[in-house]
Amino acid sequence: MYLRLLLIALAVWAAVMAVRALRARGPARREPRRRLPEGERMVRCARCGTFVPESRAVRAGGETYCSDEHAETCGG
């Protein structure tokens, strides 16, 4: 008889502690998605087809290249 009451009391205590723990955590919050910074425009190399940021591209002979080497060998 006493053992049964002890087990019931223990179960009630465990349930109360579980509810308190859930309340302490608060509602599940989702972090807002971070927007990626606006990227720089990418341009394609006229020789190899590689895309590079426009600020790093080399322009020669009306074309766009990924490096000085490609600009010299193709567009001069």
31 by Cβ neighbours in 10 Å (0-12 / 13-18 / 19+) ranks as exposed
Compute the 3-state secondary structure of the chain and give helix, strand, coil in percent, each to the nearest 5. 45, 15, 40
Total-model pTM? 0.48
Question: What's the confidence (pLDDT) of residue 46?
Answer: 94
Question: What's the confidence (pLDDT) of residue 17?
Answer: 94
Question: What's the confidence (pLDDT) of residue 50?
Answer: 94
27-65 pLDDT tens trace:
666 777 776 567 889 999 999 999 999 999 999 989 999
39 by Cβ neighbours in 10 Å (0-12 / 13-18 / 19+) ranks as exposed
Could you tell me if 65 and 51 are in contact, meaning their C-beta atoms sit under 8 angstroms apart?
A: no
Residue 26 pLDDT greater than 80, yes or no: no
